[in-house]
Amino acid sequence: MMRSTGWGMASVLIWTLSVVLGIALSLGLDLVPSAGLAIALAMGLGAVANLLLAVRLNSTRTPQGRRWHNRNLVDSANNVTMQEYYPMFLGFGALALAGAFAEWTRSMIAFVCCIALAAGLAALPRGVRELRRITVNNVRSREATSDLEFRPVDAAPRWAVPDQHDVITGEVYGVLTGPECTIFDAQVIEPNRLITQARTFWVAHLPRSLPRTRVTSAGSQITVACDNARFAADLVDSHYAAVVCEHGFTEWRIDGRDLIYSRYADPAIDVLDVVDLLVDLASLMPTRLLATYGANGGRHEQSEQRVRITS
């Protein structure tokens, strides 16, 4: 049974109203000569309405652009967001067009071909994800070592959803985990995008839990957004943030006991080399910072307002 969260059920309601509108256009109001064409037109209008509602409810405008998130899910069991519900509109619209095309050509073969096309459109996103999951799992299983154990999973690890910047909305797969680090792949809602993108995550485990922090660098400028103003300032003053960025990690974050880096999935990247470097950099975290700001718990207590420091 499908379960929605937040305003996710609104997408289902829009889809239902689109069907009713299409039937009304073709039968009740007699404005469109073909019922199939009327329903397809209504599905197109419904898809636009659903997108506009998703923009309002499932995205946030930031200085860096619009960022999409999964606050409102149409199907929480499969992590289907409002903005990802478009296959239901396109698939049913294509099915309606198939009926209209068959009525126009009076050909059963054309009708069957159009239905197959509609089914393919509806199943395409899930099929692409499943193919990637199988491919990544096969690659990661071959990369397992004596220190890194491979395990296929379909649930987000605890550090996969720290904030709206990196929200896991699809399957998490290809997990390599060990005592010092974890590697996994996931589908992530990216800024300024309506669809999810495959990203690889590298996580180096820290000895103590630190305040939630995000570090970005652009040229010689380094920006630290953190729950703790003093910790953010000490990260910059100790040059630790600069050292990590100089090794190619231009955007990374700390979430509890984890130092996390992610980027678009790229088969050409040696994930083991990246995680080895990240573990080495995590070991360089100044002991003074760990002693002063570290906590023994899994997650550091968050403050009510984040601060931003630019070097």
Q: Could you tell me the pLDDT band of residue 162, with boundaries at 50, 70 and 90?
A: very low
Higher local confidence (pLDDT), 98 or 191: 98
Question: 3-state DSSP: the chain helix, strand, coil percent, rounded to 5?
Answer: 45, 25, 30
Residue 292 has pLDDT above 80, yes or no: yes
pLDDT at 244 over 80: yes
Report pLDDT digits (tens) over 247-259.
989 889 998 888 9
The DSSP annotation for 110-177 comes to HHHHHHHHHHHHHHHHHHHHHHHHHHHHHHHHHH--SS-EEE---S--TTS-SSTTSEEEEEEEEEEE
Position 308 scores a pLDDT of 58
**Threshold 0.85, pTM exceeds:** no
What does the pLDDT read at residue 277? 93
Residue 130 pLDDT grade (very low, low, confident, very high; cuts 50, 70, 90): confident
Residues in contact with 7: Cβ distance below 8 Å, sequence separation at least 6, in sequence order: 53, 57, 72, 82
Q: How many CB atoms lie within 10 A of CB 286?
A: 13
Q: What is the pLDDT of residue 171?
A: 58
Indicate if the pLDDT at residue 42 is higher than 80. Answer: yes
Residue 303 predicted with pLDDT over 60: no
Q: Give the pLDDT score at 95.
A: 76
pLDDT-derived band at 69 (thresholds 50, 70, 90) equals confident
71 pLDDT exceeds 60?
Answer: yes
Tokens 């906590």 found at: 295
Q: What is the pLDDT of residue 282?
A: 92
- Scored b (16 or more CB within 10 A) or e, 145-160 reads eeebebeeeeebbebb
pLDDT at 215 exceeding the cut of 50: yes
Please check the confidence at residue 186 and state whether its pLDDT lies above 50.
yes
- What is the reported pLDDT for 302? 47
Burial of 260 (0-12, 13-18, 19+ CB in 10 A): buried
Q: In this model, does residue 1 exceed pLDDT 80?
A: no
Q: How confident is the model at residue 80 (pLDDT cuts 50, 70, 90)?
A: confident
Beta bridge partner(s), residue 222: 217
Could you tell me if 4 and 74 are in contact, meaning their C-beta atoms sit under 8 angstroms apart?
Answer: yes
